[in-house]
Amino acid sequence: MLRSFAEKRPQDPFPRYALGVELKAAGDAAGARQAFASLVADHPDYIATYGPAAEVLVELGRVDEARAMLGRGIEACTRRNDVHAREHLESVLAEIEARV
């Protein structure tokens, strides 16, 4: 159902975000990666995407891509002056750095 809704309303980032989150929760990391990558490409200022997208990339063993994703998210937060979200993404990045 989410996939259909996301396809019908590509200008609305939320259904695509929800689809990515749902795929991630269902254990479909590859599908979630694809959903998040498409969403970031089309809606780079939809900040909520970056954290879960990075988590999926780490899950897939793509740590460098996760770092880059978080960097893009931090840049989007800076553009939108969203200090809280930027701090959250910076903490996620620090956690990744501490693990590797």
Q: Which pLDDT tens digit goes with each residue over 20-53?
A: 999 999 999 999 999 999 999 999 999 999 999 9
Can you tell me the distance from the alpha carbon of 88 to that of 62, in angstroms, rounded to the nearest whole number?
20
pTM check: above 0.75? yes
The distance from CA 70 to its chain's CA centroid, rounded to whole angstroms, is: 8
C-alpha 91: how far from its chain's center? 15
The overall average pLDDT reported for the chain is 94
**According to the model, what pLDDT value does residue 45 have?**
95
**Structural domain boundaries of the chain?**
2-99
CATH number among 1.20.950.20, 1.25.40.10, 1.20.870.10, 3.40.190.10, domain 2-99: 1.25.40.10
Q: Give the chain's end-to-end CA distance (angstroms, integer).
A: 38
